[in-house]
Amino acid sequence: MSNNSNGGFLDSVNKNFDKAARFTGLPKGLLEQIRVCNSVYKMQFPVKVGNEYQVIEAYRVQHSHHRLPTKGGIRYSSKVNQEEVMALATLMTYKCAIVDVPFGGAKGGVKISPRNYTTAQLQKITRRYTTELIRKNFIGPGMDVPAPDYGTGSREMAWILDTYATFKGGEIDASGCVTGKPVNQSGINGRTEATGRGVFYALKEAVSYKDDMKKIGLEPGLEGKTMAIQGLGNVGYHTGVISQDEGGVKIVSVAEYEGAIYGKDGIDIKKLHKFRKETGSIVGFPGTKKLKSRKDVLELDCDILVPAALENQIRVSNAPKVKAKIIAEAANGPITADAEEILLKKGIMVIPDMYINAGGVTVSYFEWLKNLSHMRFGRMEKRFNQKTYNNLVSLVERETGRSINVREREVITRGADEIDLVRSGLEETMINAYQQIREVLKRKKGVDDLRTAAFVSALRKVSSDYMALGIFP
């Protein structure tokens, strides 16, 4: 156990790594090289806040350089510490490998609570942090590409890009120095919802296997399943909305900063979100009752539990009380390694973070590709496809003698827009990765949980990259 204030997050990640490493047959030295963080950059810089100067502590950790650029979000939170950023950077390496995104893992953290600063002060901090990264060559489209994480969003990414462009405006690919940007500032449609949408595609795939569902006493399919969500931030919100609208899932409980609520007939997430904006709280939402404690959401009797907040939420102390059949780790590291042993013994299906929340980085990859290609997806082929489909429909009309109405024709002959391509690319990625992980689970003797299977799958890919570099035989 490490002597840190973070509940041993990095230890937990490494414990899971070690559990899986045994099944890979890889040499010890190579495993060690994969496991360690390659570069850790800690900075402390002054920012004038009001009349005083504050020293801000911040980090950027690059876990693995086996592929460049490295990639991962930037977190703004008063709890940020070196060990947490290292753990999160580590997870990014495996996450990218699992979904075949050709990047190494990284993560950044700024130790501030954003709610204590004005927009102008946050901008100042973000720009200064970016300048520190530029100074040490810790940012760039081919070097290290940040993105949003807890406490940051497209606004911060726009500031980062603008700062980078101020220094390196002549670089033709400068806009690829950061992802998760606003759509009108070199961003991509569908990035904001991407992590939540990825969680939804992953769940849909995971519950589609009859045998797997039988083992946990559930029918296949998402329709009608109950869900509890911890955290209504970007990830929790989109997971909820898309699961209810496109999957027919019934959300029975939501927890946020101010408390947790339960509604047995289902909670409309869009309406709840609006209610929270208006009243400042989810508590009191019509048709729901308040739960005693925020953490009660984790112990609710439901089919799917979605921890979408922070790490170390399910620990040895509360794991025995968890009643969900499936846990979808939308957050990074919500279950400690020791707690997971308890959950697995109880027969709970845990779909691990490094797979299920990889939708964000997957669409970040699409955004980066868009930036490097300097062209919106769909621009070249949309109209060509439309014409081809139109010709096909006309042919069918002629041959069958049946005419298709204008509405039907529009639906059938529509060429794909950027958002359609992003969603289809994301769905394909999530399904593919699940099948790879499930294959390991089925075929590899001794591997009997999805996290270990996901690690084995990731380690195979990362190790073969290292070998291709010629460093290891």
Q: Which is nearer to ligand GLU, 70 or 436 (CB)?
A: 70
Q: In the complex with ligand GLU, which residue's Cβ is closer, 73 or 240? A: 73
Bridge partner list, 53:
48
312 touches 353 (CB < 8 A): no
| 31 vs 426 by CB, closer to ligand GLU | 426
Residue nearest to ligand GLU (CB): 73
Residue pair 46/80 in contact by the 8 Å Cβ criterion: no
How far apart CA 104 and CA 63 sit, in angstroms, is: 7
For residues 163 and 156, give the distance between their C-alpha atoms in angstroms, rounded to a whole number: 11
- Note if 107 is an active site residue: yes
For 276, the enclosing helix (H) or strand (E) is: helix 269-279
- The residue type at 199: V
**235-to-334, 362, 384 alpha-carbon distances in Å:** 14, 14, 35
- d(C-alpha 261, C-alpha 158), whole Å: 35
* Least separation in angstroms between CB 92 and ligand GLU: 6
Q: Which helix (H) or strand (E) holds 140?
A: none
Q: In the bound complex, what is the minimum distance in angstroms from residue 91's beta carbon to ligand GLU?
A: 7
Distances (CA, A) of 319 to 7, 316, 349: 15, 5, 13
CB of 13 to ligand GLU, least distance (A): 13
Nearer to ligand GLU, 8 or 187 (CB): 187
Min dist. Cβ of residue 71 to ligand GLU (A) = 4
| Helices 359-373 and 194-206: angle between axes, nearest 10 degrees | 130
Q: How far apart are CA 350 and CA 324, in angstroms?
A: 10
Closer to ligand GLU by Cβ: residue 108 or 263: 108
In the complex, what is the shortest distance from the CB of residue 423 to ligand GLU, in angstroms, rounded to a whole number? Answer: 16
For ligand GLU, the binding residues (CB under 6 A) are: 71-73, 95, 147, 149, 179, 332, 357, 360-361, 364
Question: Which CB atom, from 87 or from 447, has the smaller least distance to ligand GLU?
Answer: 87
CB of 429 to ligand GLU, least distance (A): 13
Adjacency order of strands within the sheet including 250-256: 289-290, 259-262, 250-256, 226-230, 304-307, 326-328, 349-351
Q: Of 130, 179, 172, which Cα lies nearest the Cα of 154?
A: 179
Alpha-helical regions (H) of 117-218: 119-135, 154-168, 194-206, 210-215
Active-site residue, from 95, 107, 204, 325: 107
Contact 245, 239 (CB under 8 A): no
**To the nearest whole angstrom, how small is the minimum distance from the Cβ of residue 175 to ligand GLU?**
15
Question: Exposed e or buried b for every residue in 188-213, given b needs 16+ CB within 10 A?
Answer: bbbbbbbbbbbbbbbbbbbbeeeebb
Least Å distance between CB 409 and ligand GLU? 38
Judged by beta carbon, residue 64 or residue 357, the one nearer ligand GLU is 357
- Residue 73 or 352: the one with the smaller Cβ distance to ligand GLU is 73
Using the structure block, give the residue that is written with the tokens 């009752």. Answer: 289
The token pair that represents 242 in the structure block: 């898309």
Q: Which residues are catalytic?
A: 107
